[in-house]
Amino acid sequence: MCGIVGYIGKRDATPILMEGLHRLEYRGYDSAGLAVARNEKLQVIKTKGKVRDLERILPERIKGMTGIAHTRWATHGEPSDRNAHPHTDTSERFAIVHNGIIENAASLRTKLEASGVTFRSETDSEVIAHLLAASPADTLEDSLRSVLRLVTGTYGIAVLDAQRPESIVIARNGSPVVIGIGDREMFVASDPAALVRHTQSVVHLDDGELAVVRADGYETSTLDGGATAKTPLTIPWTDESFDKGEFSHYMRKEIAEQPDAIRRTLSGRLEPRFQTTHIGGLEMAARELLEVKRIKILGCGSAYIAGSLGAHLIEQLARLPASAEPASEFRYRNPVIEQDTLYIAVSQSGETFDTLAAVQEVKRKGGRVLGIVNVVGSTIARECARGIYLHAGPEIAVVSTKTFTSTVVAFALLAVHLGRLKDLSTAQGARLLAALQALPDQVATILNQEARIATLAQRFARHENAYFVGRAAGFPIAMEGALKLKEISYLHAEAYPASELKHGPLALISPETPTVIVMPRDDLYAKNLSTIEEIRARSGPTFVITQPGDPLPMPVDAVIEVPKSEAVLDPLLLNIPLQLLAYHVALARGRNIDQPRNLAKSVTVE
Ligand code: AGP
């Protein structure tokens, strides 16, 4: 998705903007550009393609101490040089970079054209630059306020006035913008990743806020002009956490980081004295938690799938009815919000538009929402007010791996906590705590099987279609395995509950369609053996992910074994080989693993 970077201070802005753009590349984009103010003029360079393409065409002479830059992910108008941001007004005095969608751009454009303005792009964003030029207001902030009163839609926006380069003005409605506080210099970004090299002290704008950012400070206000008070937040990530290190892909690095990520998610949250867990951000006393009659979990993509495992954990350990639902659909079915239901929003980035909209729908109807989020200070984290941070560290690859695992761990912490308030015994609590502590080492042993999984991936990579099946909590793992594979290898992969195979998909099983069977050695093991027989009877290749035990009673194409944990935690371990499988299939197929086509790390538009 689109990214914004801005700088104002005493240094040359261009290298800082370029480095910020590089930091935002992981979000997915199709063009890039920057504008720097100098001697009351704007210098604007932009191009279709990658940040390195922009670097190639960047003239030496582009100098100045105030600038804004952008990576664009096309919504209105194809990816092209002229549609890339920044956009300027006709006189090239105002430059704007914009994330989001201006919904009434067409009618504003018609009016501007009628007044003689010639547009140079097909974007919705360009109207903002022309409206700024037409504003009679005295200051840039008042001009922007008047323009934003005319537009409907979503925006994270940064504006530069060549004639008054002593400030950058930013505003937010539905698309994040943060200010990074430096030493007599300030940074602006849509994602703290772009400024963490320079500062860890940030201020997040809220929807409906605007800020004037100068080298020596900033002022925030509402769109009506009333001052707002903001407290800077410290981002717990450093520049090093964004390095790829020895790995050739961020995804591979993040898979390898899982033992540490789990340790961080657990850190300080286990209470062996009472065989329970302690979750600081929950902010609900035992009595309040006991009044909860149901749990509804909302998230998108992998966050939804992790939520499905969370529901399973809560039902099993706390015996509370719990279910997960894609957040992207939630608001459209006019959901009934119940007072005795606890809603949980799951989002790695904390910026997913659909999840945020679901949170707002619950809150608007008086419901309580808890967030399970990785990015500290992100919009969903702030909107939920109470919640569990994953502390998994930054996840750069578009696909979720370590944050999926940490989310399941966070749900396990919550489920143990709720369970121990109810019927979970001290012995069960102690066993679960021990199992949680064992997870990092168990994940590490699975990662040691990478060479075998890579060999298997070579065979898998020859196919164009695959099924992933599982039962009970094995089904969400099948879903996650299929999602990961399709996202990065572009191989068509579908997940089914194993029990549903004979109700339709069996028609497609053939020697050309491998099936991955997720089958812990649980009560459903025998049923999964029957599933394997059904597939083998149609000559379908079978790849089994299971746990150590008696040899399978029939030949299969491959078996990967993972260590046994407590039954409710087994799915987490069964998922790890599927991450490696997806990675190596994508590698064998020569895909762009960290930035798969058409996908963005955080989907901040509807
Ligand atoms: C996962 O591999 C995907 N990239 C995607 O499904 C993702 O989980 C989803 O977009 C939700 O993102 P979030 O966790 O940042 O809200």
Residue 236 φ/ψ, nearest 5 degrees: -80, 5
- Cα(396) to centroid(ligand 1), Å: 12
Same domain, 184 and 112: yes
Ligand 1, residue 603: give the atom nearest the CA. Answer: 10
CATH number of the domain where residue 367 is located: 3.40.50.10490
Distance of alpha carbon 419 from alpha carbon 277, whole angstroms: 10
* Sequence-ordered alpha helix ranges (H) in 319-390: 327-330, 353-364, 379-384
Check if 301 has its Cβ closer than 6 Å to any atom of ligand 1.
yes
Same domain, 478 and 434: no
CATH number of the domain where residue 118 is located: 3.60.20.10
Report the nearest-CA residue for atom 4 of ligand 1. 399
Q: Is 384 a catalytic residue?
A: no
- Cα(583) to centroid(ligand 1), Å: 17
Q: Is 601 a catalytic residue?
A: yes
Domain count, the chain: 3
Contact 170/177 with Cβ under 8 angstroms?
yes
Domain boundary among 214, 240, 266: 240
Check if 487 has its Cβ closer than 6 Å to any atom of ligand 1.
yes
Check if 595 has its Cβ closer than 6 Å to any atom of ligand 1.
no
* Sequence-ordered alpha helix ranges (H) in 270-301: 286-290
Distance of alpha carbon 217 from alpha carbon 50, whole angstroms: 32
Check if 602 has its Cβ closer than 6 Å to any atom of ligand 1.
yes
Check if 373 has its Cβ closer than 6 Å to any atom of ligand 1.
no
Check if 302 has its Cβ closer than 6 Å to any atom of ligand 1.
yes
Ligand 1, residue 483: give the atom nearest the CA. Answer: 2
Q: Is the dihedral of CA 2, 199, 348, 286 positive or negative?
A: negative
Same domain, 112 and 211: yes
Residue 605 lies in a domain: no
**Closest to 460 measured CA to CA, from 587, 362, 570:** 587
Which residue has tokens 């407290």?
231
Dump pLDDT digits (tens) for 442-500: 999 999 999 999 999 999 999 999 999 999 999 999 999 999 999 999 999 999 999 99
Contact 437/266 with Cβ under 8 angstroms?
yes
Pocket test for ligand 1, best of 400, 402, 579, 593 (most atoms within 8 A of CB): 400
Dump pLDDT digits (tens) for 489-547: 999 999 999 999 989 988 999 999 999 999 999 999 999 999 999 999 999 999 999 99
Same domain, 257 and 294: yes
Check if 135 has its Cβ closer than 6 Å to any atom of ligand 1.
no
Check if 380 has its Cβ closer than 6 Å to any atom of ligand 1.
no
Domain boundary among 193, 221, 240: 240
Distance of alpha carbon 75 from alpha carbon 166, whole angstroms: 32
Residue 140 lies in a domain: yes
Find the largest Cα–Cα distance for the chain. 81
Same domain, 112 and 172: yes
Residue 506 φ/ψ, nearest 5 degrees: -55, -25
Same domain, 22 and 126: yes
Distance of alpha carbon 446 from alpha carbon 277, whole angstroms: 26
- Cα(394) to centroid(ligand 1), Å: 14
Q: For each successive 10 residues of the chain (606 residues), what is the average pLDDT?
A: 93 96 86 95 95 92 93 84 95 96 95 96 96 96 96 96 97 94 96 92 95 97 94 87 89 97 98 96 93 98 98 98 97 95 97 95 97 94 94 94 98 98 97 98 98 95 96 97 97 96 91 97 96 95 97 96 98 98 97 88 78
Distance of alpha carbon 590 from alpha carbon 458, whole angstroms: 12
Report the nearest-CA residue for atom 9 of ligand 1. 301
**Closest to 514 measured CA to CA, from 468, 458, 580:** 468
Residue 554 lies in a domain: yes
Residues 6+ apart with CB under 8 A from 107: none
**Closest to 19 measured CA to CA, from 159, 183, 187, 172:** 187
Report the nearest-CA residue for atom 11 of ligand 1. 300
**Closest to 530 measured CA to CA, from 554, 558, 510:** 554
**Which domain covers residue 338, as residue numbers?**
244-446
Domain boundary among 446, 480, 506: 446
Same domain, 179 and 222: yes
Q: How many residues does the chain have?
A: 606
**pLDDT for position 498:** 96
